[in-house]
Amino acid sequence: MSASTGLLASHELGNLPLSCGRTIAAAQLTYLQIGQANADRSNLVLVPTSYGARPEDLAWLAGPVLDPEHWCIVIAGMFGNGASSSPSHGAMGLAEQGWVVSHRDNVAAQYRLLREVFGIEKLPLIYGWSMGAQQAYQWAVDHPELVERICCVGGTARTSPHNRLFCLSLRQALTADRHWNGSGFDGPPSQGLLTYALIYASWAASQPFFRSISEPVELHVEQQWLPHYQRHDPRDLIAMLDTWLAHDVAGGGDLAATLAGIRACTAVVALSHDLYFPADDLAADANAIAGAELHVITSELGHRAGNPHSSPAEQQQLSRIVENLLQQPSHV
């Protein structure tokens, strides 16, 4: 990758125990660094990846949302995304074999990255969209003394029952394919991936968005959505779904009480037409965090309004929210 877009690297973590009881042998976390850390390491922004994203997929944030001349932006790939340790590497299995990576595991690995590579003592900002927002919440819960600010875009602190149904439908689409053998696939799950893409597209974009396209929706999904998932090993898609399904910063306990322990200045960003994470769910999280501000981005892009790599209007809204958050004094 060219210097103009950042430095793509992998941090070796050794044998990494997971909360599920399994251990990733020779674990690695892939990350993209954009911008330079200052002398006292006080300008680092962590961006955990979203579902299916690799670090370079989120490099667009540098400039439109986060200033790379001022901030050292570290985009960290979560386990299962095909860049960091994943089933496709042979390093992990799936839930059928007792393998479930939690966001607590992702945060623990990212914590080591930031300590061992960057030597950070405080994190001025963690910015995350979707599953990245889930990880930002987990960071603020696990390391309240370290995280100064979090910006959680289109994501919640616990996977809701309705959101769980969505994830289960995607998982079922893949494992119902004739090539599924109980632990992987004996051949390309072409039908399963097409069904998966149809389900995913129907939730990730909004009703107004689909009314705006000229081609048949089936063709739109096949041309615009399916290739994004075909680039992944389907086992990796399942592993990330299992992480999403397991997400709960309270670990089954009192969510409001857990969120009340967050000390970070918090911006919660809802997306007006998001079918995964409706504004009411995000408002409930914000209400449980002292001083948290709830913002709503108005956009017909649906959930994808939180990742507007090609849409300046939504980029500008996100930029203003982040700028305002960074002006808030740290409570840490």
- Scan for tokens 């090609």, then name that residue: 310
Q: Report the sign of the C-alpha dihedral through residues 208, 214, 219, 225, in that order.
A: negative
Tokens for 44? 């680092």
Instruction: Find the angle CA(133)-CA(138)-CA(140) to the nearest 5 degrees.
Output: 95
- Scan for tokens 């948290």, then name that residue: 292
Which residue out of 50, 84, 88, 130 is catalytically annotated?
130
274 is catalytic: yes
CA 164 to chain centre: 16
Tokens for 147? 């995280």
- Partnered with residue 294 across adjacent β-strands are 268
Here the contacts of 8-17 (C-beta below 8 Å, separation 24 or greater) are 8/32, 8/55, 8/56, 9/33, 10/84, 11/112, 11/113, 11/116, 11/117, 13/109, 13/112, 16/85, 16/105, 16/108, 16/109
143 is catalytic: no
Which residue out of 177, 242, 274, 285 is catalytically annotated?
274
User: Do 286 and 292 meet the contact criterion of CB atoms below 8 Å apart?
Assistant: yes
179 is catalytic: no
Query: Which residues are tagged catalytic?
Result: 130, 274, 303
